[in-house]
A = this chain, B = another copy of it.
Amino acid sequence: MSNFEAFFDYIQQISGKLLSDDDKHLLMEHFKPKKLRKRQYFLQEGDVCKYIGFIVKGSARTFTVDEKGHEHTLKLSLENWWLADFESFYLLTPSRFNIEALENLEVLQSTNAQIEEFLKRIPAFSAMSNLISQNYTIANQKRVQAAMSYTAEERYEELISSYPQFIQRFPQNIIASYLGLSRETLSRIRKNFSK
């Protein structure tokens, strides 16, 4: 099935290791395809994040809603990214986040217990996991730095250079909430930019 081919390629490419036929069967057996339509929820605030999803097609955002009703987008996720609230997923605690499909979404999903199995039994999976952890750590560090040290304009420029796809693919109100800005401020920054 083509979904899985892309997934296998991803694991092999990141890890630099090959998956055996047995490995592939194990993964196919325990990763379940799941489809969400635009605006459906992968995870709702208060629920435990039981599944981690590998995005085959589509996009999603992870966000909170504060007391004033403002949404704060923590993460935007595209094809070949992992989708979960890792805090809730690892610790099995209720999530403070919502994860919503921004476009029709196809994921391959599995549980924490299964992931532990894959890590033990599939060397390529384990190597991929370690590298992904590293990348997340690096990306998070950058994001913290940007949030703390940069002005609104600088954060927008940084986003354009790091994730140009986001600008194309997501509406401005989502981008604004990802950058920690009001949509009006983002609109004004864009106006200055185009000059």
Contacts and interface: CB of A to CB of B under 8 A. Distances in A.
A180 B148 contact: yes
A113 interface: no
A144 B86 contact: no
A28 interface: no
In the complex, the count of this chain's copies comes to 2
For the side of the interface on A, what is the size category? 20 to 34
A133 interface: yes
Contacts of A147: 144, 147-148, 180
A137 B86 contact: yes
Interface in A93-132: 119, 130
B140 A90 contact: no
B90 A145 contact: no
